[in-house]
């Protein structure tokens, strides 16, 4: 009989799968419910990662499970672009209403976040007839070739994979903690227009309203307004990548709801469909209609099971008031972290919108401290708490627990976190 220990399965993984698929924790899931996960050895963990921001409604929310089960009884796959089904149309209608702006919108569905980004760029280029795209340093937009080209972090995402698609340009993201102001970023864009590409050749500027892998840095409102003005002046489209920030994570339906500007296109994935593969691009109707029929789509795009799950997710977010709950949970977490500053000198910053919260660590000299960050993550895991790290310097712990987490389970997780920080 095959051994069911974590170590035994991990040895098989190393022999059977490539090292390029990195594994965060060598523990193998057996079952999960809401914010808790049990491995094959029966050990329980509190999940503060949510499958990388995928489970805002928790593991196996009963309404999501039931929606998938009901769809299974009808059909699993027809290929929407061959034989369509009404649930896709109604989900597009719902997202058109929920996303920022009162203008006419249309939504197209895909499978992964990287696919959504790829197709957003396709749509922008088709609509503007321009090639150029501007992205931010530290941004993350996927592991496909266009996604890698847009991503502003080399290790591990771009190492050894070039060359990348052309006409992609990067400017520094405004991060006050690291000495980059809004004016610095805007001057970099102006320099780009003078040195590398004329603005009339730029199709789009793409950014995450809160950088995910980059370290949970929120775009300053002044920067977002300035980008909107630049885009309007030069006929450039503004793309908001809401793949990690969407669906109540930041205390609003979308992170762009914190801003007084409206993007032309938005990408969505992750928590859209409760753990099933689904992504979307939503945007101005006339822009979304730029590609010719057949230019968008995919075999599994708008998979029926994922669409059913997404409808249930939207219902749960609304009925359980998860936007409001995200703010409550995030405030509770930030207060706990702020209370630990005096005892943990490595804490350089605590930040976040809603329940998209991060703590950044630095040494006494102010330099990033990835070693301490890894220690905290390891101590927490050993005590039964799963934490994710991020940041260009790998010195940030990000918190992405389900917004449905029980108060008692959150409290238990925060106690483990406090102990890991002070060990």
Q: How confident is the model at residue 155 (pLDDT cuts 50, 70, 90)?
A: confident
Instruction: With respect to residue 210, please indicate whether it lies within any of the assigned structural domains.
Output: yes
Mean pLDDT across the stretch 128-144?
97
Round the average pLDDT of the chain to a whole number and report it: 97
Peptide bond preceding 163 in cis form (omega within 30 of 0): yes
d(CA 370, CA 362): 8
The last residue of one of the domains, among 268, 294, 319, is 319
Instruction: With respect to residue 1, please indicate whether it lies within any of the assigned structural domains.
Output: no
Structural domain for 362, as ranges:
6-60+321-422
At residue 185, what are phi and psi to the nearest 5 degrees?
-65, -40
Instruction: With respect to residue 30, please indicate whether it lies within any of the assigned structural domains.
Output: yes
Q: What is the pLDDT of residue 1?
A: 45
Q: In the chain, what are the helix, strand and coil shares in percent, each to the nearest 5?
A: 40, 20, 40
Q: What is the pLDDT of residue 54?
A: 98
What secondary structure does DSSP assign to 261-328, as a single string? Answer: S--SEEEE-GGGTTTS--EEEEEEHHHHT-SPTTSS--TTTT-HHHHHHHHHHHHHHHHTTHHHHHHH
Q: Give tens-digit pLDDT for 26-38.
A: 999 999 999 999 9
Task: Based on the fold, state whether residues 51 and 74 are members of the same structural domain.
Answer: no
Phi-psi region of 412 (alpha: psi -120 to 50; beta: other; left: phi over 0): alpha
Task: Based on the fold, state whether residues 223 and 263 are members of the same structural domain.
Answer: yes
Contact between 351 and 367 (Cβ < 8 Å): no
Q: Give tens-digit pLDDT for 309-364.
A: 999 999 999 999 999 999 999 999 999 999 999 999 999 999 999 999 999 999 99
Q: Give tens-digit pLDDT for 271-318.
A: 999 999 999 999 999 999 999 999 999 999 999 999 999 999 999 999
Name beta bridge partners: 396.
360, 390
Pairing of strands 44-47, 202-207: unpaired
Q: How confident is the model at residue 65 (pLDDT cuts 50, 70, 90)?
A: very high
Tokens matching residue 190: 């102006």
Task: Based on the fold, state whether residues 55 and 83 are members of the same structural domain.
Answer: no
Task: Based on the fold, state whether residues 135 and 89 are members of the same structural domain.
Answer: yes
The last residue of one of the domains, among 282, 300, 319, is 319
Q: How confident is the model at residue 189 (pLDDT cuts 50, 70, 90)?
A: very high
d(CA 91, CA 104): 15
Q: How many domains does the chain have?
A: 2
CATH number of the domain residue 346 falls in: 3.90.1150.10
Peptide bond preceding 235 in cis form (omega within 30 of 0): no
């Amino acid at each position: 009989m095959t051994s069911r220990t974590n170590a035994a399965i991990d040895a098989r993984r190393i022999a059977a799968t490539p090292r390029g698929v990195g594994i965060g924790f060598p523990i193998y899931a057996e079952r999960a419910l809401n914010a808790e996960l049990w491995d094959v050895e029966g050990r329980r963990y509190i999940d503060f990662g949510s499958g990388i921001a995928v489970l805002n409604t928790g593991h196996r929310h009963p309404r999501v499970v039931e929606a998938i089960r009901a769809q299974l009884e009808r059909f699993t796959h027809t290929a929407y672009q061959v034989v369509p089904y009404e649930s896709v149309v109604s989900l597009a209608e719902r997202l058109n209403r929920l996303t920022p702006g009162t203008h006419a919108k249309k939504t197209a569905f895909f499978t992964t976040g990287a696919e959504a980004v790829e197709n957003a760029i396709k749509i922008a280029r088709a609509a503007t007839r321009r090639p150029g795209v501007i992205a931010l340093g530290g941004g993350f937009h996927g592991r496909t070739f266009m996604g890698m080209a847009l991503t502003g972090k080399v290790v591990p995402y771009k190492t050894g994979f070039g060359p990348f698609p052309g006409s992609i340009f990067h400017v520094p993201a405004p991060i006050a903690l690291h000495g980059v102001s809004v004016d610095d970023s805007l001057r970099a864009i102006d320099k780009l227009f003078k040195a590398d590409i004329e603005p009339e050749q730029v199709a789009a500027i793409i950014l995450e309203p809160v950088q995910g892998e980059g370290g949970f840095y929120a775009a300053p409102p002044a920067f977002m307004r300035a980008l909107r003005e630049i885009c309007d002046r030069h006929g450039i489209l503004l793309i908001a990548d809401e793949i990690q920030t969407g669906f109540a994570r930041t205390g609003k339906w979308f992170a762009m709801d914190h801003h007084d500007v409206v993007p032309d296109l938005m990408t969505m994935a992750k928590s859209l469909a409760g753990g099933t593969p689904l992504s979307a691009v939503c945007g101005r109707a006339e822009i979304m209609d730029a590609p010719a029929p057949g230019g968008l789509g995919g075999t599994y795009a708008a998979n029926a099971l994922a669409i059913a799950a997404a409808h249930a997710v939207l219902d749960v977010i609304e009925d359980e008031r998860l936007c409001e709950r995200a703010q409550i949970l995030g405030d509770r977490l930030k207060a706990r972290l702020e209370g630990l500053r005096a005892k943990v000198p490595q804490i350089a910053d605590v930040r976040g919108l809603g329940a998209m919260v991060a703590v950044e660590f630095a040494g006494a000299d102010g330099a990033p401290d990835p070693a301490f960050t890894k220690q905290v993550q390891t101590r927490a895991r050993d005590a039964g708490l799963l934490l994710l790290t991020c940041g260009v310097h790998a010195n940030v712990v990000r918190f992405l627990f389900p917004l449905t987490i029980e108060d008692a389970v959150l409290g238990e997780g925060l106690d483990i976190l406090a102990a890991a920080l002070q060990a």
